[in-house]
Amino acid sequence: YEEGRVPAMALGQDTQTVEYLESLTDGADEAAPDASFELGNMYMGGDPIRGVEIDYERAWGHFSHAGALDHGPAHHNMALMDLQGMGKEINETSALENYRRAADLGEISALAGMAYMYMQGKVEGVAPKEARKIGLDLLKQAAQFDTEQSSSSGDALVALGYYYMTG
């Protein structure tokens, strides 16, 4: 398995996977943030194969734990939960903060998430014309990454093309 990642054998252990991942989250090794992130995903979307029902509070707790350990994708998912009001009130300020933290940690998709927020007028105190410019700049940054490195850069290219096409 990739160093610092949840061992591949853990995935596919059906209901035992949750218990296995839970056992890794408290550890001091590099697997803890990834284990917390995977558990957060399970609780955010539910996982009927493993008997996990949607539980936004538990999802947030696991993402928060992983985020505290500098896990960029966890901050990205916290931003999504903030924007969509998953288990809590919509909080665009917190969403933007989590997207920024995720981007600082190298999460390319967070750049596109921030671009969406700016271009949809979800960032307070920024004039529409300036928000559009910031959004386009963020999409350009995301699109510069190699699509082999991240599918998010391809998504950013599509979004960039759409915004140029629609004016």
Written as one string, the DSSP assignment of 84-140 is: HTSSS---HHHHHHHHHHHHHTT-HHHHHHHHHHHHTT-STT--HHHHHHHHHHHHH
pLDDT at 91: 97
Q: How far apart are CA 147 and CA 15, in angstroms?
A: 34
pLDDT at 146: 57
Written as one string, the DSSP assignment of 138-162 is: HHHHHHTS-TTT-HHHHHHHHHHHH
Low-confidence ranges of the chain (pLDDT < 50): 1-15
pLDDT digits (tens, 9 = 90+) for 54-78: 999 999 999 999 999 999 999 999 9
pLDDT at 8: 42
